[in-house]
Chains A and B, each alone.
Chain A
Amino acid sequence: MLTPLVKERPHLTTLASPPAVPKTAGRMRLRTRWTGWGFVGPFMAVFALVFLAPIAYSLWLSLFQTQLVGGTTFVGLDNYARVLADPQFWDGTGRVALFLLVQVPVMLGISLLVALAIDSGRLYGRDFFRLAIFLPYAVPGVVAALMWGFMYGERFGLVGNFNDLFGTSIPDPLSSALVLPAIGNIVTWEFVGYNMLIFYSALRVVPTSLYEAAEIDGAGPWRVITAIKLPAIRGALVVATIFSIIGSFQLFNEPSILQPLSPNYISTHYTPNLYAYSLSFSGQQYNYSATVAIVMGVLTMIVAYVVQLRGMRKEA
């Protein structure tokens, strides 16, 4: 439950197919059919408490309407009909879709290039870069917002300093239409190193024999990248993409932290997740908020599933 809020973008990986179940299902295994639950049970018990129960509760809540005056009434699927016809919900959904189409490729592209550069062995100070670029992942969101809020300041912040020095007139990223790219920049900053590490780790296990073969063929470095490295880490690329898609759909931390600095551009329905949050915390519309969360969860699953199918099919 916390995970989505923290800077772990994690769940994504779970969407990739599970590791192939080792083929040898021996007799031993049949005899101990239930032993597996002994190991998985504790996780699932806590999981049920902190994930499944709140979801079940939300499903229940989504069937009711509670008014400040008048109490609670059963409304069936009315809340769902309302979400699907709610322009504010679709405004936010459209925005995260746009974000996903632009920010995710940029971020993953940079991550991949850096991973390839570090893996190439052609860098000075390789270990330093690997750690330095990963560091932002360790910075708490509250602190990140403080830093970027300052740096984005047009009048007194770094953008202002820059304009004064060079006579440019870059508008304040937080009080203009640039606020979406500004959020994209923070997300990119936070997760470039994280994705880089995933790609880099995948590159580390490309079998040596493949390189040896390439050397014998006299392939150049670009050829090695396109013909060997990229295909070899396709799995990691798909996983990171799915990760980032879920992360985009759940975009919340960065806009919510920047909202006080840019209230007129970051509306209460800026992203679907922010909308659900505002509904329950400012408007006490718990029922409708739960419905928004469920609809968003279903949309996310559909998109992630489609991407996974496409990614895996190409591979086949």
Chain B
Amino acid sequence: MTIRHHRAVGAFAAAGALALALTACGSGSDGGDAAETVSPEDISAALEEGGDLLVWAWEPTLDKVVEDFEAEYPNVNVELANVGTGNDHYVALQNAISAGSGVPDVAQMEYYALPQFSIGGSLADLAPLGASELDGTYSPGPWGAVTDGDAVYGLPMDSGPMALFYNAKTFEDAGVEVPATWDEFVTAAEKIHAFDKNTYITADNGDAGFATSMIWQAGGHPFEVSGTDVTVNLADEGSAKFADMWQQLLDDDLVADVPAWSDEWFQGLGSGEIAALVTGAWMPANLESGAAPASGDWRVAPMPQWTEGSNETAENGGSALSVTEASTKKALAYGFLEYANAGDGVATRLEGGNFPATLADLEDEKFLAEESEYFGGQKINEVLSASATGVVPGWQYLPYQVYANSVFPDTVGQAYTGSTSLSDGLAAWQDSIVKYGNEQGFTVGE
């Protein structure tokens, strides 16, 4: 009896393997359906007719958006599931796609991860559904991240134009001016650490998102992607600029090597021992809840510049909502996307602390005039919105950035342990990226 059972299971397992092989083949191909255009009326009709939508996202403000959406379209039933944050979410999505079952209709996609799923053919092109009409609705950084030529693979949900968040009290105590350029930043780092050996200007123990954003701001284009042709150059001018500057801080032990988001990190932010962060505009809400003891001490300044007086910035983090290719209700799903990211849902999410990707909101007088209590009454949105206008255009992520970021610590991270330099680390990262890409069937040049 057991023996028979074994056989049955074996046959079944083989069937499963075949399924994997088939889906893998499918995802390798283009995946684009014949573009049949759907009119706004069709979308409205789908919303009226209703149905069930499965949405995978961890963005907390979506709870309220879904509630309002269902009130407005009573025939639509949205099931919002948080299947994990960041990588856990992508693993679950990748697994569902491989298995060919349980794939959600709508999925949250961080900008850096989006190309991996769009090139794999897992995301639906929204242009035929009317998304091309939204060109000009969003700031250039996020819009560039969700589009590939004429195709639109998601609607931006929030954005992360970078700025300098700093603890004014620590800066004052140490007698340090707020740096406007990276040279000044290095000097300020020295002074702050000299002032108190437990205090650092910032914390960084090797973060792929931060490093790529810094290279982006410095004008680097380390990744260039055209279909399955990829060019990697992590030694270009922008990358070298970043590596040389940041290397000075590492050499003199001027940044705390505390991992971001650890309790130690929050503790340092709350105590003033981590005096500043160069990061995305979504940071204020996290500071308020995670570094409450420092309330009133923090301020926001423009991101330090490579050339004094310019306004060149980059995006860090942020995510979009995408419709999956496997969804059988693309029109309905797109209706939800439009509501959440271009319609009434935007205001709801901004109230919840999201930083907008929509130009209308970035330029809205009321939004700009908001005074943040945590930031001592500063009108922080003025600074953050200004950063959104300065995002350097033309940046691209790899079509397998999730994997690339996962091996960042193995390579560039070694520079933070002192066993290599940042530029050598970047070279090692490039080697891993090229090797993996070629193994996976891309044509990767250097």
Contacts and interface: CB of A to CB of B under 8 A. Distances in A.
Report if A and B touch in the complex (beta carbons < 8 A). Answer: yes
Interface of A: 37, 40-41, 44-45, 48-49, 52-54, 56-57, 60-61, 64, 66-72, 149-150, 153, 155-157, 175, 260-265, 267-269, 278, 281-286
A265 B417 CA distance: 8
A277 to B, nearest CB: 10
B121 to A, nearest CB: 10
B273 interface: yes
Nearest to A47: B2
Contacts of B271: 156
A71 B17 contact: no
Contacts of B10: 53, 56
B35 interface: no
A49 B13 CA distance: 10
B17 to A, nearest CB: 5
Given A52-B6, A267-B409, A60 B205 contact: no
B2 A48 contact: yes
B413 A263 contact: yes
B24 A283 contact: no
B206 A68 contact: no
A71 B20 CA distance: 10
Contacts of A283: 403, 406, 436
Given A41-B1, A268-B410, A286-B20, A69 B262 contact: no
B21 A149 contact: no
A49 B6 CA distance: 8
B406 A268 contact: yes
Contacts of A153: 262-264, 267
Given A54-B13, A284-B403, 20 more contacts: A48-B2, A52-B9, A53-B10, A60-B14, A60-B17, A69-B440, A69-B442, A155-B256, A155-B258, A155-B267, A260-B259, A263-B205, A264-B206, A264-B414, A267-B410, A268-B410, A278-B406, A281-B91, A282-B403, A283-B403
Nearest to B24: A66
B2 A155 contact: no
A282 B414 contact: no
A37 B1 contact: yes
A74 to B, nearest CB: 10
A162 to B, nearest CB: 15
14 contacts: A37-B1, A45-B2, A67-B441, A68-B400, A68-B441, A70-B441, A150-B263, A175-B205, A264-B206, A282-B407, A283-B406, A283-B436, A284-B403, A286-B20
A68 B91 contact: no
Nearest to B407: A268
A153 B266 CA distance: 12
Nearest to A155: B264
B388 to A, nearest CB: 29
B228 interface: yes
B366 interface: no
